[in-house]
């Protein structure tokens, strides 16, 4: 039987005292606006991760066995979105205080706000956010809700300790978001999908990350639906697998440290397990880059 944890690691590699990485499932689905299913995202990611080969050819070894991963119980979340964010922040602060890399499994993108708030409480700032996403999430509010997943980046920028947000793969924005980004060039930088496809941005990304502490958020709709179709708000012409991995590699190489990350907005479709497998494999890659600087 495969152990019931992220990557299906046997003991001692999955034990809390042995692991350098903590995985926290966050089954939040409160403000989704199109397709539903993010509540089931963490469980699907866990199941799929158990089919991912631990051997990584880039590293030439089963790198997860070096750093170890402990999977925490899924966090019970209240229906009220504001209270849910605070519950995530409390749990994140507690686990980030261990000094281990904290990885959140969403759930809708609003979980990132709670994760970042908690990590800042435990470890302090400043913090740079790197966001892979099809959407800028820079609205002041959406459907009268300031905690909507369409407002996550805006709320993060209002969080004391968040220095800047660097977004890659965006291809769907509203006029408010475009104007906000243009008005705040020192704190918001968007590389639209066509810029990434053209090979632009990685050098500037590295320059803006150099010497900084990073939190990485991967919204799976940042990738093209041909790679990950199971998400509530899919957008065509997304990042390829190679482009996403190149970004993750550059983030880890340039940053002084990666202290937290998440993978969000997976909305599993029965019988379409390729999506959660791709998300799980990408997250394993991101963790490995962060843990082997």
Q: CATH no. for residue 91? A: 3.40.800.10
Domain assignment of residue 46, yes or no = yes
Contact 47, 74 (CB under 8 A): no
The two three-digit tokens of residue 185, written as one number: 């060039």
Q: For the chain, what's the residue count?
A: 293
Residue 1 belongs to a domain = no
- Confidence at residue 35, expressed as pLDDT on a 0 to 100 scale: 61
The answer as to whether 11 is a domain residue is no
pLDDT at position 1, please?
A: 67
Residue 219 to residues 107, 134, 250, 264, Cα–Cα distance (Å): 10, 8, 18, 5
The alpha-carbon radius of gyration of the chain (Å, integer) is 17
Full domain range(s) for residue 63 = 22-291
* Domains held by the chain: number: 1
Tell me if 17 is assigned to some domain.
Answer: no
> Do the beta carbons of residue 225 and residue 238 sit within 8 Å?
yes
Residue 15 inside a domain? The answer is no
Helix, strand, or coil (residue 95): helix
Is 204 among the domain residues?
yes
Of the pLDDT bands very low, low, confident and very high (cuts 50, 70, 90), residue 144 is: confident
Q: Answer whether residue 6 is part of any domain.
A: no
Looking at residue 34, what is its pLDDT?
66
- Render pLDDT for 19-64 as a digit per residue (tens, 0 to 9): 999 999 999 998 777 667 799 999 999 999 999 999 999 999 999 9
Among 134-138, 144-148, 264-268, the least confident range:
144-148
Mean pLDDT of the chain: 96
In a domain, 63, yes or no: yes
pTM for this predicted structure: 0.96
What pLDDT does 94 receive?
98
d(CA 282, CA 260): 15
């Amino acid at each position: 039987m495969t152990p019931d944890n992220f990557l299906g690691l046997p003991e001692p590699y999955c034990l809390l005292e042995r692991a350098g990485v903590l995985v926290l499932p966050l089954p939040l689905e409160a403000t989704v606006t199109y397709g539903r299913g993010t509540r089931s995202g963490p469980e699907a990611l866990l199941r799929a991760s158990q089919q991912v080969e631990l051997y990584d050819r880039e590293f030439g070894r089963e790198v997860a066995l070096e750093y170890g991963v402990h999977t925490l119980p899924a966090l019970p979340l209240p229906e009220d979105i504001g209270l849910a964010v605070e519950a995530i922040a409390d749990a994140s602060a507690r686990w980030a205080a261990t000094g281990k890399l904290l990885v959140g499994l969403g759930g809708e993108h609003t979980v990132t706000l709670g994760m970042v708030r908690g990590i800042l409480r435990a470890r302090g700032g400043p913090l740079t956010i790197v966001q892979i996403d099809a959407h800028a999430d820079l609205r002041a509010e959406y459907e009268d809700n300031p905690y909507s997943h369409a407002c996550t980046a805006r709320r993060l920028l209002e969080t004391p300790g968040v220095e800047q947000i660097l977004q890659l793969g965006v291809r769907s924005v509203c006029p408010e978001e475009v104007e906000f980004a243009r008005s705040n060039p020192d704190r918001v930088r968007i590389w639209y999908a066509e810029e990434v496809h053209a090979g632009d941005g990685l050098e500037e990304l590295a320059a803006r990350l150099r010497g900084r502490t990073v939190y990485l958020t991967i919204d799976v709709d940042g990738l093209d639906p041909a790679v990950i179709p199971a998400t509530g708000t899919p957008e065509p012409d997304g990042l390829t697998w190679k482009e996403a991995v190149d970004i993750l590699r550059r983030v880890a190489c340039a940053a002084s440290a990666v202290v937290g990350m998440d993978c969000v907005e997976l909305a599993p479709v029965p019988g379409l397990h390729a999506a959660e497998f791709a998300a799980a494999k990408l997250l394993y890659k991101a963790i490995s880059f962060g843990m082997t600087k």
